[in-house]
């Protein structure tokens, strides 16, 4: 147990459901990897230690800290509640549950060219991504079979198309190699997968590490972070200029589509596909009706990520992707080149947060939740 008091100052933003962390520099981690913090009012919250190589970080979630206020926490010798985020691995899949309820499943099936998340269960138990081409659901659209729920893809990487799936296989593919981390916990669960990006002939383009961190919120909102890192292990890698890409890609449930009454908006006050498609923004939101309730996704691009703020390939027919490469299409200008050459042996990093919420972006306070991601409140020990 740590003999220290922790203090957090909200700053000028209301902090709600806000993950915070403290690097444990010069502090030895407790024998246990989780426990309970008690704040000034006596309220208790779970903490969790993340061990990543030689690095150790202490995490917990601030439920509600108004702007301008500070809160202090002390450690208590009580085990945290057993519920939180749980990962359950099976053949080619990992079920991810929050407080005992399925949130999503990470799938890496050998007959599908790319790993993906499906189903994705949002606030109130609403299924928020389209079923096709994983399953056919009455009333849903069946275009673009490669738009599988939530996935990562790019149409021109080292001469390979890891976006489309035209004609008959073999297709270029993202091949799952191993899970480097698979960790459940009371504050978050973490999955880190190592993948190879392969051409149609099976030759390797590069490696990719996909780090998914799911926080123990819900059932009225969900939150996860996704870090994607490409590593040029086989030599230089060319990322081409194409709109057919999305390092984070979502196909929303058909009832949410913009052409069915859904709403697309971004951090720059753009509204509708016309004002958001191809535009750079720190975050973008897609909301609409699912089973008579309005729900939405806010996808946030971290300031430390490559080419922040990213551009958005977001369409009325339900496609919602972060794409910082498709300049020629986005600007309707052939002289604007969005391609990028990753030198041999180097990395290319993308970092996103996805907020699944009730209502539209204003009601969900997506702008404030972006500040939680981009400028989290500092934690200090006293």
Structure confidence at residue 45 (pLDDT): 95
- What Rg value do the Cα atoms of the chain yield, rounded? 21
The string of pLDDT tens digits covering residues 235-245 is: 999 999 999 99
DSSP calls for 295-309: EEEEEEE-TTSTTSS
- Report DSSP state, residue 307: T
**The tokens of 347 are what?**
């990395």
- Is the Cβ–Cβ distance between 305 and 226 less than 8 Å? no
What is the rounded CA–CA span in Å between residue 170 and residue 202? 9
- What local confidence, expressed as pLDDT, does residue 317 receive? 98
Domain count, the chain: 2
Whether the CB-CB separation of 300 and 287 falls below 8 Å is answered with: no
- Domain around 111: 85-374
Instruction: Give pLDDT tens digits for 324-366.
Output: 999 999 999 999 999 999 999 999 999 999 999 999 999 999 9
Does the N-terminal peptide bond of residue 219 adopt cis geometry, omega within 30 degrees of 0?
yes
Distance in angstroms (rounded) separating the CA atoms of residues 18 and 46: 13
Q: Are residues 146 and 52 both part of a single domain?
A: no
Are residues 75 and 90 part of one domain? Answer: no
> Is 323 found in the same domain as 178?
yes
- DSSP summary character for residue 286: E
Which of 79, 106, 138 delimits the end of a domain?
79
pTM above 0.95, yes or no: yes
104 and 71 in a common domain: no
CATH number of the domain that 98 lies in? 2.70.98
């Amino acid at each position: 147990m740590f003999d220290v008091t922790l203090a957090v100052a909200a700053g000028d933003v209301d902090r709600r459901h806000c993950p915070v962390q403290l690097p444990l520099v010069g502090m030895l981690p407790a024998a246990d990897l989780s426990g309970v913090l008690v704040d000034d009012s006596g309220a208790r919250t779970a903490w969790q230690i993340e061990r990543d190589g030689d690095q150790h970080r202490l995490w917990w979630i601030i439920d509600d800290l108004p702007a301008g206020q500070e809160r202090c926490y002390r450690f208590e010798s009580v085990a945290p509640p057993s519920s939180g985020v749980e990962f359950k691995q099976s053949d080619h899949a990992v079920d991810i549950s929050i407080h005992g309820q399925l949130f999503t499943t990470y799938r890496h099936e050998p007959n599908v060219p790319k790993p993906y998340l499906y189903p994705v269960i949002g606030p109130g138990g609403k299924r928020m991504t389209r079923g096709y081409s994983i399953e056919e659901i009455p009333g849903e659209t069946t275009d673009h079979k490669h738009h599988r729920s939530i996935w990562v893809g790019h149409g021109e990487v080292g001469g390979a198309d890891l976006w489309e799936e035209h004609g008959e296989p073999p297709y270029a593919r993202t091949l799952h190699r191993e899970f480097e981390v698979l960790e459940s916990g009371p504050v978050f669960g973490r999955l880190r997968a190592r993948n190879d990006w392969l051409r149609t002939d099976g030759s390797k383009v590069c490696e990719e590490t996909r780090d998914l961190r799911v926080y123990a919120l819900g059932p009225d909102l969900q939150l996860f972070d996704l870090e994607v890192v490409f590593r040029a292990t086989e030599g230089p890698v060319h990322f081409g200029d194409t709109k057919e890409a999305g390092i984070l890609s979502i196909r929303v449930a058909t009832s949410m589509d913009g052409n069915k009454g859904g709403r697309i908006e971004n951090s720059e006050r753009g509204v509708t596909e016309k004002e958001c498609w191809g535009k750079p923004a720190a975050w973008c939101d897609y909301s609409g009706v699912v089973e008579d309730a309005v729900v939405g996704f806010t996808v946030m691009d971290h300031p430390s990520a490559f080419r922040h703020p990213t551009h958005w390939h977001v369409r009325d027919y339900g496609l919602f992707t972060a794409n910082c490469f498709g300049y020629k299409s986005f600007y309707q200008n052939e002289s604007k080149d969005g391609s990028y050459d990753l030198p041999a042996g180097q990395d290319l990093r993308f970092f996103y947060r996805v907020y699944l919420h009730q209502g539209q972006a204003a009601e969900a306070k997506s702008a404030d939740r972006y500040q939680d991601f981009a400028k989290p409140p500092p934690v200090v020990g006293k």
